[in-house]
Amino acid sequence: MRRACSFAALLLGLCAFLPATAAGPVAAAPPPEERTVTVEILAAGAVVAEHVATEPALATSTGVVSEVPLLWTPDFLPGGTEIRAHVGLSMGIEVVVKGPPFLTVVDLRTRVTHPPMTNPRTGLTSDREEWDSPMNAGYPRYAGWSFDNPWELVPGTWKIEILQGQRPLATQEFVVVVDAESTR
């Protein structure tokens, strides 16, 4: 659950400032709705992710999403999209946003669809989680799910999507397997 950072915004600000001072005015970029945005999946699977913070995310079963370090590159474990889930494991996709100029922050959302699970603390059952996940164009980013609680270990087909508005730009399915080893 990687988010764009103000560091990227700083870089964009500097990049936009330098050409304007060195070569005169720079033409304004077309409005976002006129740009074609695509998302390419570079890799998918299970990872052991280092979480550095949490962000509020009201449309999730826990109310928060975890953040990974800004320059973190996921090291995918063997097994592809078949995930032998256990608490502490994450699964996800590494993607690159294409279309806008390099490092432009693109407002996207991550949606995770999964078999029904119930948060025992709140009593709420969900089959879909969704949160804001702005990403920098042209720079590989990670979006995924972290199995942080035993009640999240639900076997079946899971899907991670990157959305622009409600339009899916990338979709990856996973088969989550939970066995006796998973719940220890």
In a domain, 35, yes or no: yes
Angle among Cα 52, 100, 36 to the nearest 5 degrees reads 115
Which pLDDT score is estimated for 16?
Answer: 35
Which pLDDT score is estimated for 90?
Answer: 96
**Which domain covers residue 93, as residue numbers?**
6-177
Between these two residues, 11 and 25, which has the higher pLDDT value? 25
In a domain, 77, yes or no: yes
Who's near 15: CB < 8 A, 6+ residues apart? 103
In a domain, 57, yes or no: yes
Which pLDDT score is estimated for 32?
Answer: 54
Helix (H), strand (E), coil (C) string for the chain: CCCCCHHHHHHHHHHHHHHHHHHCCCCCCCCHHHCCCEEEEEEEEEECCCCCEEEECCCCCCCEEEECCCCCCCCCCCCCCEEECCCCCEEEEEEEEECCCCCCEECCEEEEEEEEEECCCCCCEEEEEEEECCEEECCCEEEEEECCCHHHCCCEEEEEEEEECCEEEEEEEEEEECCCCCCC
In a domain, 184, yes or no: no
In a domain, 183, yes or no: no
Residue 96 sits in a domain whose CATH number is: 2.60.40.2390
Which pLDDT score is estimated for 14?
Answer: 33
Digit-coded pLDDT (tens) for 49-102: 888 888 998 888 888 888 888 788 899 999 999 999 999 999 999 999 999 999
The answer to whether the beta carbons of residues 68 and 41 sit under 8 Å apart is no
Q: How many domains does the chain have?
A: 1
In a domain, 125, yes or no: yes
DSSP strand pairing (90-98 vs 105-106): unpaired
Full-model pTM = 0.79
In a domain, 15, yes or no: yes
In a domain, 23, yes or no: yes
Encoding tokens for residue 117?
Answer: 């699970």
The answer to whether the beta carbons of residues 141 and 97 sit under 8 Å apart is yes
